[in-house]
Structure 1
């Protein structure tokens, strides 16, 4: 059984929280639910930083400037952080909530979400719409899931270990990936809580909404789960979900 390891530095009421996970894990739904439960402002990265209408991606410099403007504020909950400006977020974040779900779960959620958006014509990512042609294209979000899955899980492990990811970014800029590994070191990094099952996250979100603490309780316990959305994402105030993990089940892993 994996019990959470609570640090004395774990923030009881964090005001700057980053949600991070592989594509399709439900981090946007989770960030939105957490923001609604705590009253913190939520930022959809795909909406306000990543994309322009016509599926044109903002250039890296503009994304970094927009990211810097957000993290300069005292309170925020972004639903992700792209590699070109993730270091800015981690330098200011008090807590990282990482969704480390199995591939089958995140991929199935992503496929269902994509199909739903195509059928309904939902406007996403700052004025854009998913189409069947785009879903099958070389730069589709489903293909991106496969391309980025291992890397994003590695980022989660690095954040857990307290490695300085800004060093990896700087070394990548000059094309030296080996130097990235050499430069990584332990620094003052935010606390990290990793959820490997949706029910763990749901219980934690419910605890945040009932005022019993944004982090795990003193004994590592969590409350009853909030309902899951249609795409597998969580929703604040939803129907009753599964109860928190039983004693025999894996628990979320915390690090500070």
Structure 2
């Protein structure tokens, strides 16, 4: 198989999708599309859905890209166009410790994220916490990845169950 030119990374919250997308993009010389930059405006305001869809469709129309994820509301605009889907199907404990550690680091360092947003203690402890989102979305995202593998009619899926497997795969690109 020749190197894929359109890659969708999909996985549970905290799996490391963005880091993987950036590394793969650098390795293959492909532009990286960050889902959170499509989804969020300053002040943690959701971008209007029609704008998200238009942005995702525009990026997906390109001949080469790595999406670091695809929101449920527009993944059907990106997924069918992918040459390859990389599923990060890691154990809950692994992705949970990653998302928790990352969120704490961002709160403490006041790291600026997409659209100038920053995570705060209040947000981390609220109903909108990224850690709680992990619990709300984990089963659904796993089911989606596994359904894509079982279906077989869409783009090929590489399902990684351990971060080391993904690291080796990227190193071999």
* TM-score calculated relative to the size of structure 2: 0.97
Task: Report deviation, 1:158.
Answer: 1.2
Extract unaligned runs of 5+ from structure 1: 1-10, 163-185, 209-256
Of 71, 90, 94, the match for 1:105: 94
Larger Rg: 1
Alignment of 1:204 with 2:169, yes or no, is: yes
Q: Distance in 2 between matches of 1:157 and 1:134?
A: 31
Could you list the per-position Cα deviations for residues 118-167 of structure 1 after superposition, in whole angstroms to 9, with x for gaps in the alignment?
111111132100001000111111111000000000000111122xxxxx
Q: CA deviation at 1:13?
A: 1.0
Report the number of matched residues. 173
Q: 2:12 aligns with which of 8, 22, 34?
A: 22
Aligned partner of residue 97 in structure 1, secondary structure:
strand
User: C-alpha displacement at 1:45, in angstroms?
Assistant: 1.1
Instruction: Give the Cα separation in 1 of the matches to 2:143 and 2:94.
Output: 18
Partner of 1:76: 65
Distance 1:28 1:90 in 2: 17
Q: Would you say 1:95 and 2:60 are equivalent positions?
A: no
- Distance in 1 (CA, whole Å) between partners of 2:82 and 2:28 is 16
Match of 1:233 in 2: none
Q: Within the alignment, does 1:194 sit opposite 2:159 as a pair?
A: yes
Q: CA RMSD in A?
A: 1.0
Distance in 1 separating the partners of 2:118 and 2:79: 31
Shift of residue 117 of structure 1? 0.5
Which secondary structure state, in structure 1, belongs to the residue aligned with residue 87 of structure 2? strand
Structure 1 segment 245-256 matched on structure 2, within 5 A: none
Question: Quick one: which of 125, 149, 157 aligns to 2:146?
Answer: 157
Look up the match of 2:23: 33
CA distance in 2, matches of 1:125, 1:158: 30
The equivalent residue for 1:43 is 33
User: 1:224 is matched with which residue?
Assistant: none
Structure 1: 4+ residue segments shifted above 4 A: none
